[in-house]
A and B are shown apart, each in its own frame.
Chain A
Amino acid sequence: MKRGNGLMAKLDGKVAVVTGASKGIGAEIARHLAAEGASVVVNYASSKEGADRVVSGITGRGGKAIAVQGDVSKQSEIERLFAETKRAFGRLDVLVNNAGIFEFAPLEGITEEHFHRQFNINVLGLLLASQRAVEDIGPDGGSIINVSSVVSLSPPAGASVYSATKGAVDAITKSLARELGTKKIRVNSINPGMVETEGVHSAGILNSAMHEQAIAQTPLGRIGQPADIARAVVFLATDGSGWVTGTTLPVSGGWPAV
């Protein structure tokens, strides 16, 4: 794909897998990577309709994308996700570990299910996907981007398990950056604050006291949009960040980095 000004798109010929990309931040990441020329695998767990919509949006603009179902917390489904990626596009350069869930619960409300549901998707799923992706990333290396959260840096009350999963993600990012550096695979976390997604809408957060508080605490005076996150993911996926690895990048309007 050529950009309007004649500059080459930055991800021409590259292949990216985005987990949990049927809606919200993941869908926007898939669209942005495709707009830079990448062939994109839109992974989803349950919303085929959402994933198909993301794919047709991309292909309608002349991009390349396919939807592949798979629960990232199940090894056999991860295997199928990457096998289908290889079959469709023949290589792998970028993995965006975006699939994740958040559930808030005070200490007394924590159950085994609450713990395992979040750790299985947010942590185990990320490890399984990364493990399998490294097998397919070629000798020129690639980029793994973990969608973490500012809660790893400033954990809110009533969110200990969710915050712990994101703390684990940041630790895994640093460990894998060291482990995979010699393979020229960069590993970074991106740490969004509150972002206006379907999940935030359906949780009734928009225009609530929590929303107002987030705006008041954010120097840029608004909550994030999926595109804010997606543009930063494009940066971490491309050569522009070729010397960046093992880092955690807050994309949060200054909250709580200040």
Chain B
Amino acid sequence: MSAKLEGKVAVVTGGNSGIGLATAKRFAAEGARVVITGRRQAELDKAVAEVGHGAIGVQGDVSRLADLDRLYDVVKEKYGRVDVLFANAGGATFAPLGEITEEHFDREFGINVKGLLFTVQKALPLFSDGGSIILNASIVSIKGMPAFSVYSATKAAVRSFARTWTVDLKDRKIRVNALSPGPIDTPGVDGLVNSPEEAQKFKEGMASQVPLGRVGSPDEIAKVAVFLASDDSSYVTGVELFVDGGMAQI
């Protein structure tokens, strides 16, 4: 047996921290040539060094189509194709109904839905037939949590994309799956609240609802992304795979 992604070209958006960074590291360790994106150049440079294995960083914001064009120009020039895409870049902020602003709505849908859609569409000319597209969704696609309506709606849209794109891309045998994490200990979660103490309290509250009794780690998502990226999941497509310690399953 060889490494699971030997020789594959893999793109990970939002690869400079959290789940994206952990996944880029796993992909590289399994033999993939990895390209990551991130909005902040300094963090991106640091992440590229951390991933190693010849990884490349392309600075950009997935909600800006020109940035995506630049990303795929680099991929095309360097590798000429994409075999695996982890559309991971996304953002979340709380806003209860009554306090939702147009700006909040546009920002969340701009990154999580529009950005993700064009991340995939603009990859298609380079995409290898038989490749794997993984959409990072969330358990909120099927759960209601207070003050999370806009974020949850974006993730329900992402789960829906996995269904329709499975059919749209069937002739090219490209598999499309949604990966839905539960609460994971990431900088993104810390950014949801105002202080480290609040973050700790938030995570403890979440952990109490998880059958495995804790929040997850980014690497636990990364390992499932490897499964969905590799031939181990060759007959898995159109699904939403929950990686949540059981939280939304019961």
Contacts and interface: CB of A to CB of B under 8 A. Distances in A.
Contacts of A234: 232
A46 interface: no
Contact of A219 (B1, B166, B211, B244): B166
A252 to B, nearest CB: 7
B163 interface: yes
Contact of B237 (A7, A174, A257): A257
A253 interface: yes
Contact of A4 (B1, B233, B241): B1
B242 A240 contact: no
A144 interface: no
Interface stretch (A63-71, A93-101, A241-249): A241-249
Interface string A24-52: 00000000000100000000000000000
Given A235-B233, A251-B236, A254-B238, A243 B170 contact: no
Interface in B43-78: none
B239 A220 contact: no
Contact of B173 (A178, A221, A235, A251): A221
B82 interface: no
Interface string B235-250: 1111101111110011
Interface stretch (B32-40, B150-158, B212-220): B212-220
Given A4-B2, A232-B232, A235-B233, A181 B167 contact: no
B239 A178 contact: no
B223 A240 contact: yes
Contacts of B233: 231-232, 235, 251
Task: Identify the interface centre among A243, A244, A247: most chain B CB within 10 Å of its CB.
Answer: A243
Contacts of A186: 212, 246
B204 interface: no
A95 B178 CA distance: 27
A220 B173 contact: yes
A224 B244 contact: no
B85 interface: no
Contacts of A174: 249-250
B106 interface: no
Contacts of A228: 234-235
B198 interface: no
A209 B243 CA distance: 37
B3 interface: yes
Given A228-B235, A253-B237, A254-B170, A184 B212 contact: yes
Nearest to A170: B249
A258 B170 CA distance: 11
A247 B242 contact: yes
A148 B210 CA distance: 23
Interface string B168-181: 00100101000000
A235 B170 contact: no
A258 B234 contact: no
A253 B235 CA distance: 5
A102 B183 CA distance: 38
B223 A220 contact: no
Nearest to A222: B235
Given A240-B224, A241-B243, A257-B237, 8 more contacts: A181-B211, A220-B170, A229-B235, A235-B233, A243-B212, A243-B216, A246-B249, A251-B233
User: Top 10 closest A-B pairs, CB basis?
Assistant: A181-B211, A246-B249, A228-B235, A243-B220, A246-B246, A254-B238, A245-B246, A257-B238, A258-B238, A219-B170
20 contacts: A5-B1, A5-B2, A5-B3, A177-B246, A177-B249, A177-B250, A181-B211, A228-B235, A231-B231, A232-B232, A240-B223, A243-B216, A243-B217, A243-B221, A243-B243, A246-B242, A247-B241, A249-B236, A249-B241, A254-B175
Interface of B: 1-3, 163-164, 166-167, 170, 173, 175, 182, 210-213, 216-217, 220-221, 223-224, 226-227, 231-239, 241-246, 249-250
Interface of A: 3-5, 7, 35, 174-175, 177-178, 180-182, 184, 186, 219-221, 224-225, 228-229, 231-232, 234-235, 239-247, 249-254, 257-258
